[in-house]
Structure 1
């Protein structure tokens, strides 16, 4: 397969609107990555840099750690942020993948942090891969801000986070969280919901979008601090990796 060489390939979906992203950084924007997407992008576009922000994972196999390591071993700068990109970067930092933003740092610092923190339901890629639910990390940040500004108390913040965390990621919205709280929590907590709901309209935090914007801005400004560490690990082929390639309809080498 041949294609015009692209210096930077960005896997982007529900974390940030495509128009907002392209206003910040020119590049080859692809839908959320899944198993095999990174290999296919390297083979098709020969990029210098791959930016992993969003990925698919529920209906298809998620982007594999091994294919990111393969790209790195082939001299590609691989950087992650905001969503599965932040998660994979936290997992592979010691092996040459760079990470950027609050969520990346949070995953690195938080032992036992769940992938579910950044998971959202999204519309089909054909109509923009837009978010259909709210990321738990965004809800956490929003409720923390509400508590710090006195909109809710600390106990209410903790209780609401517990409710949000218990929701399936596909159902996780502020409205659903409020509905569950109204039927399961104390009257004291319920009384704070109208004020919180009104406050959220103008003050909710979208940390995933902020991290994605920050990374794209840093790359646009050619900030050297966002580039991967100077680590190059030898790539080792495994039977599991070969099975992944076959499942994705791909091959590498001769």
Structure 2
């Protein structure tokens, strides 16, 4: 049997259709925190390291030096999703490889680290409590392409949500912001709710594409701040 890859994942994998079916190919670990990587690598001396989620609020975040040590030891380290996407962009010159739409958005548009942050349950299945701003951008991109909102509506909602502390970006606060921008269009609020419950969750889509061995979705960010697909396949893999 081929060596299993090591994947550190938490809320990005919540309700993933694929994560529960990869036990033969992956050893799954909780979100990575400082001091956790070296012991895991000692116990698992082969296999790629795939960093998706990591602790940062109640625990110390994984240090860059820990990842660089793994790279120097010859491990392939891939980052995507949340903490993995941030570290992949920060350490790309050191050999860490990024994967997915979120990495592309951080690297190309310089999104702040709090764009991927969220509060979530402390134990599996790590149920999300708040919504990352990058997911709001993608959901609003869907509404914009569907003609339910215009660019000014999008820019106004994003500005309001971006002004909140990441832990205050709850679903009710986001929907209230949308309601204020489109008071006569309840369908826009409902469409935003629906998108944030699954179809436009870029971090999860990146994870499922990687697990499936598929290319990640191609995306771009519009001047209004919405994230939209850069291919006719939408947010699905090409």
> Would you say same fold, with TM above 0.5?
yes
- Name structure 2 gaps, 5 residues minimum: 217-238
Matched, 1:197 2:194: no
Going from structure 1 to structure 2, the CA distance change for 1:114 and 1:59 (only over 3 Å counts) comes to same
Deviation of residue 181 (structure 1)?
Answer: 5.9
> In proportion to residue count, which structure has more helix?
1
Task: Give the TM-score taking structure 1 as reference length.
Answer: 0.76
Q: Deviations over 1:130-167 (max 9, x none)?
A: 21111110001111221121101111110001111122
Structure number with higher relative contact order (C-alpha < 8 Å, ≥ 6 residues apart): 1
- Name structure 1 gaps, 5 residues minimum: 226-254
Going from structure 1 to structure 2, the CA distance change for 1:209 and 1:181 (only over 3 Å counts) comes to closer
CA distance in 2, matches of 1:43, 1:58: 26
Does the 8 Å CA contact 1:152/1:192 hold for their aligned counterparts?
Answer: no
Give 2:120's aligned residue: 122
CA distance in 1, matches of 2:171, 2:191: 12
Runs of 4+ in structure 1 over 6 Å off: none
CA distance in 2, matches of 1:103, 1:178: 23
Does the 8 Å CA contact 1:122/1:129 hold for their aligned counterparts?
Answer: yes
Q: 2:174 aligns with which of 171, 174, 177?
A: 177
User: What's the RMSD between the two structures over aligned residues?
Assistant: 2.3
Does the 8 Å CA contact 2:33/2:60 hold for their aligned counterparts?
Answer: yes
How many residues align? The count is: 210
Going from structure 1 to structure 2, the CA distance change for 1:163 and 1:60 (only over 3 Å counts) comes to same
Task: Give the TM-score taking structure 2 as reference length.
Answer: 0.81
Q: Deviations over 1:62-101 (max 9, x none)?
A: 0111111100111111001111111111111111111111
- Radius of gyration: which is bigger? 1
CA distance in 2, matches of 1:76, 1:192: 54
SS in 2 for 1:121: coil
Does the 8 Å CA contact 2:175/2:193 hold for their aligned counterparts?
Answer: no
